[in-house]
Structure 1
Amino acid sequence: MATKKYTVTLPEELAEEIRQEVGSGGFSAYVTRAIERQREQDRLGELVAWLEGEHGPVTDDELASAEAERRELESHFAEQGEQHRKAS
């Protein structure tokens, strides 16, 4: 992928914290990943808005059901991982 240098203004304290964490050579890669994640979140937000426009907002019951299913799946995969570790 081609790259191009841009000038951006960041709060100094935040920029220095990031630079200390990733080193000067990793700063651009860190910012690139952050922008990519933000774009993904923006697109997901647009999708949610469109789906809610088409089908109405998600109800509290639907959210609770989805959260229960997520917990069940998380538990299932945690158990599988534990069984795999014991078998190894």
Structure 2
Amino acid sequence: MSTMSAREFNQDVSDAKRRADSGPLIITDRGEPAYVLLTMADYRRLGESGEDLLDRLSMDDDVDEGFEPPRVDPGLRRVPEL
């Protein structure tokens, strides 16, 4: 993946688009990754599953119904009443 600062992006958007043609372009802000520029084809390829974002982020498929966490004895005891 290629990287470009936000300042460089603002000065030469055409260069950013050319660089994004060969793969995602990370645009940094103050040295930290802030944005990603993709071609429309790459963007569509990301959504090929046909699921919406909520479905893709859902962990329903990962649920293990047979999972039972072990009981934990915290070692607490009652304080006698005075």
Q: TM-score, normalised by structure 1?
A: 0.24
Hey, which of these two has a bigger chunk of helix by percent? 1
The structure number with the bigger radius of gyration is: 2
Instruction: Point out which structure has higher relative CO (alpha carbons under 8 A, 6+ apart).
Output: 2
Hey, which of these two has a bigger chunk of strand by percent? 2
